Every structure is written in C-alpha cells, then in structure tokens.
Amino acid sequence: MGVGLIVVGLAAVMVVAVIEAVRRRRLSEGWALLWISVAIAGVVLALARPLVDRLATRLDVAYGTSLVFAIGLVFLVVVCINLSMQVSRLNQRVERLAQELALASEQGDERADPGSSAS
C-alpha cells in the first residue's frame, strides 16, 4: 500500500497546484478540470492495482504498470496534439489581427494627412 499512499499524496499536491494556478489565472477552468480528473484517475488506478494487473494479463501485457504507462503516454500525445492545434489557431488569429491593425493604421494615416496621399 506504500505506492498507493505516494500516489494519493502526489495527486493531492497536483490538485492544490492546479487550483492555485486557476486562482492566479495561469490556467483556465477547462484545463483545470482535465488535470484534476487525471489526478483522480491516478488515485483510482493506484488503488485498483489488482484490476489493472488483470486487464494487463487479458491484453497480454507483461506488467500492469506497463499498461498504465502506455495509456498515459497516449493520453499525453493527445493533449500535445490538442495544444498544438490551439497554438496554431491562436497564431492565425494573431496574424489576422496584425493585418487588421496595419490596415486600420494605414487608413488612420490617410485621414490625418489627406494631401500626402494625393498624386
């Protein structure tokens, strides 16, 4: 049960860190729910080791911990892909806003000095 206590302790620290990040507005509530769910899932997996071992045996995986790590790796890859898509979307928005700002600035310059643009 030593590993279970360590996992419960780490999950508690993770939940506190996530709540503090939300409080300081460094993490949105949606992501906070995801990471708190991960902490809860970690506790459940740590406390249900016999079930994990049985599932690993049925899936022909040598150790239950290997199965947990494989699932965790797939989960993190999905999170990375999701974050990459969000960063791409934000880059497109920044580019579009920069273009709109340049156009607005150019139009403002023409209004301020109408004689300079006339040929």
Q: What is the structure's pLDDT at 46?
A: 85
In this predicted structure, the answer to whether residue 119 has a pLDDT above a threshold of 70 is: no
Q: What is the structure's pLDDT at 4?
A: 80
Q: What is the pLDDT of residues 1-20, one digit of tens each?
A: 587 889 889 999 999 999 99
User: Tokens 């004689």 belong to which residue?
Assistant: 115
Q: What is the structure's pLDDT at 57?
A: 94
Per-residue buried b or exposed e for 39-69, using 16+ beta carbons within 10 Å of the residue's own CB: beebbebbeeeeebeeebeeeebeebeebbe
Q: What is the pLDDT of residues 51-101, one digit of tens each?
A: 999 999 999 999 988 999 999 999 999 999 999 999 999 999 999 999 999
